[in-house]
Structure 1
Amino acid sequence: MPKTKVEILHILGEQVLPGESKEVNFDVANLHTSTPVNVPVIIERSKKPGPTVLFTAGIHGDEVNGVEIVRQLIAKGINRPKTGTIICMPVINVFGFINLKREFPDGRDLNRVFPGSPSGSLAARVAYKLIHEVIPHADLIIDFHTGGSDRFNAPQLRYTKDHTDLNALAKAFGPPFVLYSKNLSKSFRTTCSKLGKPLLLFEGGKSFHIDDIVTNSGVNGSKRILKHLGMLKTVFKSTKPKRECIFINESKWLRAKYSGMFKAVAPIGSHVEKDDILGNITDPYGKFNYFVRARHAGYIININESPIVYQGDALFHISVEIKT
């Protein structure tokens, strides 16, 4: 990953010199009002050679906690590298972000249309431009996401089990959990994997919500990984994680047996034993109360925080097998 020579960076029709700070525009289409949409890409370069790290967020327009993490990296100057180059894209799906929606205006999920097409839908065109004009410059990508809907994710990194080369980077990041998960068809992660670009996918929190613990986990993890790569400036102190990250080989969802009003009592990230009470489902009339119990021991890495659930809804995501 280390580089011996600092070269001029040609990206999105602009050139960025060594030691230069520059904001370039990732533009694809105007709004329906003909108003141009400028999607800033913030680039900071050191005069010293080193890797290029890309921080991305907002692939889904409703996942604002990831946007907040990258925003803090920029606002606190963490993105100004000691060596190498740091590229920040806080909001990729700016159309969804504007409309407070997960998808693009065409109804497509950006994370299901990669590698995209230059003549396809709006989402496909954004995916194509990202893959062909930004990704080739990156040596490492850290992509920030949150849980969908009301499902709250404990801070965690995700990648496939066969990417053993990412284990050292994951340990350097230091999240509470690392979840080995399969690549999804036409996702950003899958496409980067096929291109040989290492990607750490960070999950934490839920849609339309900013959580301080999740934000701190993402920001501190980013600082640790930059320090690990020799890119973090000495003025920034990287905090050690409170505990070593737990690697999860397998996990299962515990689903609602009944419909009703739901309240979780087990905290996110906690370890539970079989038959522990995790929450309860009631009816609005005070006639029914069902205790949700753990079916096996494990760590809770996701909790459904919706007050209303239906039979079959996912309630808790719990680890089954831990890597030892």
Structure 2
Amino acid sequence: MTESPILCSIDLDAPGKQVGQLQVPRSSNMAGWSNQYVPIVSIAGGDGPTAVVLGGVHGDEPEGQIAALNLLRRLEPAQVHGRLIVIPCVSMDASLEYSRLWPSGANMNRSFPGSPDGSPDEQLAHFLSTEVFPRSEIVVDMHSGGRTGLCVPWSEMHWVDDPEQRRQMVDGMYAWNADWCCVYIDIAGSGLLVGEAERQGKIVVSTELGGGGFVTAEIHRLSISGLENVLRHFGVIAGEAVTRADLGKPEQTLLMATERDNYLLAPESGLFETFVDLGQHVSVGEPLGQMHFLERPDRAPEVIESLTDGIVCSVRAIATTDQGDNVVVVAREASRSELD
């Protein structure tokens, strides 16, 4: 395997708390020889599992970035039973521009497993795939709907075939203590970070913490409390994990968005008007929204109908929509026993 061109300024196997950078080679119009610095922190306090915590794979999703920053500043080695490797923002340039994609147009969440000889995003994905994930048992990848999507705040997972890996991922998903949990599929290509971590047999916990271009105090509280509770659940940091019952809250609602028909796509470009609210129950054939066409004010809007019965768990947060963009996700309610 080709050695990674990325330099890491800290020793990922050393004890204690280290703060450093990953130096990703790049060229720009301002500098032919340059590096993009990606922050990385390792906190090791003793024997125990290793967890990787990642935020900002998409730059317009600040929820996870802020939760990771709060976590790494607060924790000291004495509070960590194993090791934490925290990268609070994977896509630095995208975050600085509040953009989903890198300035190059790369989607970091379609770059895995990466390549040491590829573009900067592929080089970074390769480093994570070959140097970071193999050191861990748990991978936490925090997302939200970003600027263009608004989701009910959920913790999520893919279905994986290995029963023990799946059981631990289900437990981790529920340990976030969000009101909603969701099992989802990929509908926009391969190359996801979580997919590579799952392929390596890791326990993967992910989220969609709201979105829509804004973050409420409630979402910030859920982001950090959920992250810390998951790490306690797996014995990475000190303290007892709490359950929904401990918090006086009802059991989570489990959503299954595992069919293509759960994901409604715009048939044409235009302005999307939603008819439905997050958490609303809908039926097959029920109108979910409609597309308007500015160039044709005389033309009737194109209505988009639900293809399934279920609960609205995501809606498009902005009206401007291209053909093929996801506008609504309708998932069916399920029981936890279905994940056994």
TM bin (shorter chain):
0.7 to 0.9
2:11: which partner in 1? 14
1:181 pairs, out of 179, 185, 190, with 185
Q: Does structure 2 retain, via aligned residues, the 8 Å contact 1:23–1:42?
A: yes
Most deviating of 27-36 and 143-152:
27-36
**Is 1:197 the counterpart of 2:197 in the alignment?**
no
Most deviating of 229-238 and 78-87:
229-238
Matched position secondary structure for 1:224: helix
Most deviating of 217-226 and 290-299:
290-299
Q: What is the alpha-carbon distance in structure 1 between the residues aligned to residue 301 and residue 106 of structure 2?
A: 39
Q: Does structure 1 retain, via aligned residues, the 8 Å contact 2:173–2:206?
A: no
Q: Does structure 2 retain, via aligned residues, the 8 Å contact 1:174–1:245?
A: no
Give the deviation of 1:291 after TM superposition. Answer: 7.1
1:122: which partner in 2? 120
Matched position secondary structure for 2:25: coil
Q: Does structure 1 retain, via aligned residues, the 8 Å contact 2:44–2:77?
A: no
Question: Superposition pairs for residues 218-229 of structure 1, below 5 Å?
Answer: 218-229=223-234
5+ long unaligned stretches in structure 2: 1-7
Task: Tell me the matched-pair count.
Answer: 312
Q: What is the alpha-carbon distance in structure 2 between the residues aligned to residue 21 and residue 180 of structure 1?
A: 35
5+ long unaligned stretches in structure 1: 1-10
1:131: which partner in 2? 129
Q: Structure 2: which amino acid aligns with 1:173?
A: W
Pick closer, same or farther for the CA change 1:28–1:168 going to 2, 3 Å.
same
Q: What is the alpha-carbon distance in structure 1 between the residues aligned to residue 136 and residue 301 of structure 2?
A: 52
**Is 1:300 the counterpart of 2:309 in the alignment?**
no
1:107: which partner in 2? 105
Q: What is the alpha-carbon distance in structure 2 between the residues aligned to residue 269 and residue 116 of structure 1?
A: 37
2:37: which partner in 1? 38
Q: Structure 2: which amino acid aligns with 1:314?
A: N
Q: Does structure 1 retain, via aligned residues, the 8 Å contact 2:149–2:315?
A: yes
Q: Structure 2: which amino acid aligns with 1:159?
A: H
2:171: which partner in 1? 168
Q: What is the alpha-carbon distance in structure 1 between the residues aligned to residue 257 and residue 322 of structure 2?
A: 29
**Is 1:272 the counterpart of 2:282 in the alignment?**
yes
Give the deviation of 1:54 after TM superposition. Answer: 0.9
Root-mean-square deviation (CA, aligned residues, Å) is 3.5
Q: What is the alpha-carbon distance in structure 2 between the residues aligned to residue 37 and residue 282 of structure 1?
A: 41
Q: Does structure 2 retain, via aligned residues, the 8 Å contact 1:44–1:81?
A: no
Q: Structure 2: which amino acid aligns with 1:14?
A: D
Give the deviation of 1:141 after TM superposition. Answer: 0.3
Give the deviation of 1:203 after TM superposition. Answer: 2.0
Matched position secondary structure for 1:38: strand
Give the deviation of 1:290 after TM superposition. Answer: 7.7
Matched position secondary structure for 2:209: strand
1:319: which partner in 2? 331
Q: What is the alpha-carbon distance in structure 1 between the residues aligned to residue 55 and residue 34 of structure 2?
A: 23
Matched position secondary structure for 1:27: strand
1:97: which partner in 2? 95
Give the deviation of 1:118 after TM superposition. Answer: 1.7
2:21: which partner in 1? 25
Pick closer, same or farther for the CA change 1:296–1:80 going to 2, 3 Å.
farther
2:4: which partner in 1? none
Give the deviation of 1:41 after TM superposition. Answer: 0.9
1:4: which partner in 2? none
1:246 pairs, out of 233, 254, 266, with 254
Q: Does structure 1 retain, via aligned residues, the 8 Å contact 2:253–2:333?
A: no
Matched position secondary structure for 1:302: strand
Most deviating of 172-181 and 68-77:
68-77
Pick closer, same or farther for the CA change 1:276–1:212 going to 2, 3 Å.
farther
Give the deviation of 1:235 after TM superposition. Answer: 9.7
Matched position secondary structure for 2:226: helix
